[in-house]
Every structure is written in C-alpha cells, then in structure tokens.
Structure 1
Amino acid sequence: MEMPPDKLVAQLAANPPASLYLIAGPEALLVIEAADAVRKAARQAGSTERVIFEVTAADTNKAKDTNSVWSEIEAALNAPSLFSPCRLIEIRLPTGRPGTEGGKFLERIAKQPPRGDIVMVLADEWSKKHEGNWSRAFEANGVVSVAWAKKPGDLPAWLGQRLRSRGLQLDTDAIRVIADRVDGNLLAAAQEVDKLCLLLGTTDTTLNAEQIRALVADLARFDVFRLLEAAWNGQGAQTLRMLEGLRQEGEVIPALMGMVIIELKITAALSAAAGSGSLDRAFSERRVWPAKQAMYRRALERHGYRRWQRFLVEAGKVDRASKGREVGDAWVHLQRLLVAIAAPGGIGLLRSEIAAA
C-alpha cells in the first residue's frame, strides 16, 4: 500500500510494523521522521539488531556478484541472527535508482519478504520516473511512503497540524508569519515549532501574529548553517537576506569564516572525487549523510574543482580583511563570495567585483 509519511507515523504508533518499507522523497524531515517511526516500531516488535547497507553509484552499475552490495545484503538476509529474533535491514539508496541487477534483487525481496525481519529502503531522490517493478512490488507487498516536496501553499496547513499535535493553537496570521520566515524549509519550520513548545508549553490561548513575531527568531536571517545551505543550494537572493540579517544582529566575520572555510574545503574535496568518479565513496569517507548530499550535488553541478579552489582563496582574503590584514570591507567581500557560490556563472562576478572593491 502507499501512504503519506504522516499517516505512516500515525499507523505505526498503533500497529505492529510491516515486513517491507520504501520511504523516499526530497523532504528530508518527513523521510527522517517516517524512518524513525519504523525503527521505533521494530524495537517494540522485539528487534535489537539493525543492519545498514549503503548503496553507491558503483553498486547500481555493477552486475550481481560476490563483490556487490546486493550479494552482501542477500547473505545477511539468509544468515540467521545470533542476537535478535527480528532484525531491521536498512538499505540506503540515495539516488532512488538501484540499477538493473539491484532492481531485480529488490523485486525478489518484495515478492518473498524475509521471514521475521523488516526491510526498509530509504531514498533521497524520488519522482514518477524512479518507479519500476521493484517499487511496485514493495507497494503490493509492503508500504511505500513518498515525502513529496511541499508546495508553498501547503506549508501553513502542515504547520498548523504540527502545532496542534503539540498542544499549541495559533491563528491563521500567526501561522503565516512562521511560514514566511522559514522560506519553505520544513526542518527550520519543525525547529520553530519545537522552540515554541519549549517557550510556551501547552496553552489554551490562541496566539496571534504579533505575539509570534515577538517570540520567533527569524531563522531565515540569523542562522549561519542555513546561510551556507542557501548559498550551496544556489539561492542567491535568500543568501543575501540571511547575511544581512546576521550583520544586523551583530555577528562578526571571523565567527562566520570558520564554517565557510570548512564547507569550502569539503566541497573542493568532493569536487575532486566527482572528477575521478568516486563521489559516493567521498561522501562516505567524509561522513556526509544522505540528507545533506543533495545540497553538495547541486553545488558541484554549478562549479568545477578549479572554481572551488578559487573560492577557498577568496575566503582567505575575506578572513584577512576581517582582521585588518587585507584591503576592503570584509562584509562586502563575503557577500560577493557567497553570491558567486550560489550563481552558476558566479566566478565572473567574483573576479570583477571583488577586484574592484
């Protein structure tokens, strides 16, 4: 059967788990929460063992042999557990494409589910084009839950439901204040809801927009992590707005540059690995979790290795300018650097405008 993530979470709270799950989609928060609900249900069903397999791009192109991840999964399924009567077998498939041999293998698992064990496939990317015989077999014999991207108009209703589930009542205008400030980011929205719960607990009073404006921090402005997410995701206008918010809040450049330089070094290394066809291995070695890989992939599509090296050089100049060891306004330098990272042709802007600053 197919059900949306929120229905899956509710269903698992009241019922034992099925033997097969496919949870996929671009909304990382919903995928994470649905997967956590399966893990919790598995523990309640007696599972004390969780086995995780990471499927790389190389695995999706490889024929099924003794060296493939599919053979490893098959061996694990056929081997009885020494520690638990019920195991959770977690197959992480970031691209949502198992390849020909992988698809046949997953289809066979779905048609003959392992007795006693629970198999959960997780995918970050998903669309109608990803569907195939294997996913239809999961739907026929287990549960498929796709976390489709929320449309802007859907966010207020989602926020309202999440607030009510935590005992908070906000009027329509107050909910829209939060929706506007998180810019469609469900992870940020969930954090805002959790923050309100900590501040207010549960209340019988319906809060209005003015009360919420006084309580809720503007994550679109003040969060350095979301600033870098916006730049790496190619959201130039949002990046500028967040950076200006940080500046107005009194943030100092040296405190920001540590994170900027770390992200640039990671991305430069990933770019080098992508050039040699080993990006998935680089993700694993650098512990870049699937939820964050899409952000890096978007950034790598815009710029090649030499540009990321150039960005690193410019980041050093920004850092030195913030400490008075380089000519120019450090905030202007940082603004242009981040916009250059966000823009497909940003290197031209970097050359012309930073040189002129």
Structure 2
Amino acid sequence: MPVPAARWPQQLKTDALQPVYLLVGEEMLVLEAADALRARARELGYTEREVLSVESGFDWDDLARAAAGMSLFASRRLIDLRLPTGKPGRDGAKALTAFCEDLPPDTVLLVTCVTWSKKHEGAWTKALDKAGVHVVFWPPRAQEMPSWIGARLARHGIQAQPAALALLAERVEGNLLAAAQEVDKLALLHQGGRMDAATMESLVADSARYDIFRLSDAAFGGDAPRALRVMRGLQAEGEELIPMLGWLVSQLQIALRLAAASDFAAQARAEHLWQAREQLFRQALRRAPREHWQSCLAQAARIDRMTKGREGGDPWRETQRLVARIADPRGTRSLADA
C-alpha cells in the first residue's frame, strides 16, 4: 500500500513488519529510511540479512534462492535488494512479482531505488504495493526546506525560530546532504532548547558557500574593499561565477522589493529576514534609491549574457564592478578596476 513519506516514522513503530517494503526517491532520504527499517528489523529479531545488489549481469534467480533459503541460525530474515536505477527489466519484474505471489514466512524484502519517476511504475510495483508498503521520498521544495530542517532539528530537541530556519535554508541552497550535515553539527554544538537566527548564524559552517554570503553581506553593508577582497579570493579558489551571480541577483531582487514596499518592516518579515540582515538592507536602501537597484539588476542581466557568450566583455570584471556599485553607489569603479 502507498504510504506518504511523512508517515514513515509511524510505520516503524509497529510491532510487526510488513513482508515487503519498496522505498524510492531522493537518494539521501531513501538511504536514511532504509537504515531506520534495518534497525527496527534487528529490534524485532530479524538478525540475518542478505544483500542483493542489482548491477549489470545480476542473476534474478538469486532472489528466488534467497527467498527459499533456510537459516540454521536465525528464524527471521531481511532480504536487502538494492535496485539503484529503479528498472528491474523483464526478468526482474517477473522475479519480484513471483516473490510477492508466494511470500516466504518470517522474511522481509526491502527494495530500494534511488532513481524514480512515474515512468518507473509498472506491474511489479503494483505487486509490491499489494504485498506491503510503498513509500516515495521526494526532496522538499524550496519553500518546504525551512520546515524540513526544523523537523530534523526537532529530533535533536532543538526548536529553531522561523528566521533561523530561513537562514540555514538559504545557506544550503536546496542541498539536502549539506542541510543534514549542518543539522548534525548543530545538534553537537547546541544542546537542545530554542535557537534564534543569531545563534544559528554563529554556528553554521564557514564554507565556500558561506563566503558567497560574506560577499553579499559586505557589498550590501557598504564595505566595498572587503566585498572585492572576498570576491577575488573566491575567484582565486576556482569558485564558479554563475552561482555567485545568481545569489547577488536574488539579493538585489529583495532590495528592490523592499525599496518598493510601503511598509518596510512588513516586507522584511515576508522576506524572512532576521534582524541583522534587515538592518543590512536598511543601510543599503539609505545609500541609494529604487532606481539604483533596478540598474544593478540590469547590469547583472548583461553579465549573465556574457557568461553565456551572448554579449562581449569580461564577466568577472563586470561582476566586480557590480559588487562595487552595490556597496558604493556614488562610484567605486576605480576601486573595482584596481
């Protein structure tokens, strides 16, 4: 039976496992779910595990042999079938369907697929659905990332404020593995309780991705020399320009929306800006009117065309000039060109 991913933890609290589990979707989430099932199986006495990895040349008769095999040492067994592509082929589909039609006693079949879409579904998935549990783990969408991070932090007893969650969601830019790693670090550094944005900012990793944040913070904070130093450092370290430019564009768009808002504070809340960043944008908007930020966005669009070869010019040099303009609208071209 299909089970929503959000209900997966409840599935593991039962005292009896289903004979079949099909876990598919985002690799990191599938692997975590499979680990949790293996741990629960051990608790319930499934002490023997046989791993079958489906690769080129895999013999699907191995599944039938595993199902028919008897153990002298364990009464309960887990067959761990790893099907990365989500495509068993004709022989595999037949083998999986046959397994479900004649379920061996005291045996659980776990099938994991880390590549998945609707086109992977077929008669074999219907057979697995009917025999047990089918869970699809889709990655959270951008707007879901803060709540996803919040739920993981809550498992460690940390109640993060919305602004703190928004901060970390921005830092990891949709990278689930990076988000999970940051949550694990935070669990070690922050021993439970509430967490505000300031605490989050002080604890998150200072990585190359974080340097991009430092670049925009320096630029919008009006510190052109520091912003240009950070940018040149990123260039020297081989950082790609396109993600950097994309981040600057997103911040310019925020500045433009704030400049156009009749209620700055309300718009800042809508943008999920924590206090320090709200002050950063206040300073930036005091330095220049709305038209300046529109001009900066137009300049960023020209740089984007340069990166794609649709317009002549040096995109790195022009981005330095853009950063200088963000920091000092009165004119720091000579500083950027230095």
Judged with a 3 Å threshold, the aligned counterparts in structure 2 of structure 1 residues 162 and 79 are, in CA distance, closer, same or farther, namely same
Mapped to 2, the partners of 1:246 and 1:143 lie a distance apart of 52
> 2:163·2:196 contact (CA, 8 Å) conserved in 1?
yes
Q: Deviations over 1:255-314 (max 9, x none)?
A: xxxxxxxxxxxxxxxxxxxxxxxxxxxxxxxxxxxxxxxxxxxxxxxxxxxxxxxxxxxx
Judged with a 3 Å threshold, the aligned counterparts in structure 2 of structure 1 residues 29 and 167 are, in CA distance, closer, same or farther, namely same
Mapped to 2, the partners of 1:80 and 1:71 lie a distance apart of 16
Q: Which amino acid aligns with 2:84?
A: P
Is residue 139 of structure 1 aligned with residue 129 of structure 2?
yes
Is residue 212 of structure 1 aligned with residue 194 of structure 2?
no
> 2:61·2:95 contact (CA, 8 Å) conserved in 1?
no
1:168 to 158, 161, 164: 158
Mapped to 1, the partners of 2:130 and 2:88 lie a distance apart of 18
**Equivalent in the alignment of 2:22:** 22
> 2:24·2:135 contact (CA, 8 Å) conserved in 1?
yes
Gaps of 5+ in 1: 60-68, 224-243, 254-342, 346-357
**Equivalent in the alignment of 1:127:** 117
The Cα of 1:168 is off from its aligned counterpart by 0.9
> 2:15·2:44 contact (CA, 8 Å) conserved in 1?
no
2:209 to 221, 224, 240: 221
The Cα of 1:121 is off from its aligned counterpart by 0.7
With normalisation by structure 1, the TM-score equals 0.57
**Equivalent in the alignment of 1:114:** 104
Judged with a 3 Å threshold, the aligned counterparts in structure 2 of structure 1 residues 116 and 218 are, in CA distance, closer, same or farther, namely same
Mapped to 2, the partners of 1:169 and 1:149 lie a distance apart of 22
Is residue 198 of structure 1 aligned with residue 188 of structure 2?
yes
Identity %: 41
> 1:222·1:246 contact (CA, 8 Å) conserved in 2?
no
Judged with a 3 Å threshold, the aligned counterparts in structure 2 of structure 1 residues 55 and 246 are, in CA distance, closer, same or farther, namely farther
With normalisation by structure 2, the TM-score equals 0.60
The Cα of 1:70 is off from its aligned counterpart by 0.9
> 1:182·1:219 contact (CA, 8 Å) conserved in 2?
no
Judged with a 3 Å threshold, the aligned counterparts in structure 2 of structure 1 residues 252 and 53 are, in CA distance, closer, same or farther, namely same
The Cα of 1:125 is off from its aligned counterpart by 0.4
Is residue 42 of structure 1 aligned with residue 41 of structure 2?
yes
Q: Which amino acid aligns with 1:186?
A: L
> 2:22·2:110 contact (CA, 8 Å) conserved in 1?
yes
The Cα of 1:58 is off from its aligned counterpart by 3.7
After TM superposition, list the pairs within 5 Å mapping 1:41-190 onto structure 2: 41-59=40-58, 69-190=59-180
The Cα of 1:17 is off from its aligned counterpart by 1.6
Mapped to 2, the partners of 1:13 and 1:188 lie a distance apart of 28
Number of matched pairs: 224
**Equivalent in the alignment of 1:301:** none
Q: Which amino acid aligns with 1:159?
A: I
**Equivalent in the alignment of 2:290:** none
Q: Deviations over 1:163-202 (max 9, x none)?
A: 2222111111110110011111112111111111111111
Gaps of 5+ in 2: 212-229, 239-306, 310-338
Judged with a 3 Å threshold, the aligned counterparts in structure 2 of structure 1 residues 201 and 245 are, in CA distance, closer, same or farther, namely farther
The Cα of 1:13 is off from its aligned counterpart by 3.0
Judged with a 3 Å threshold, the aligned counterparts in structure 2 of structure 1 residues 70 and 246 are, in CA distance, closer, same or farther, namely farther
Q: Which amino acid aligns with 1:21?
A: Y
- Which is greater in Rg? 2
**Equivalent in the alignment of 1:241:** none
Judged with a 3 Å threshold, the aligned counterparts in structure 2 of structure 1 residues 221 and 58 are, in CA distance, closer, same or farther, namely same
**Equivalent in the alignment of 2:271:** none
Mapped to 1, the partners of 2:179 and 2:173 lie a distance apart of 9
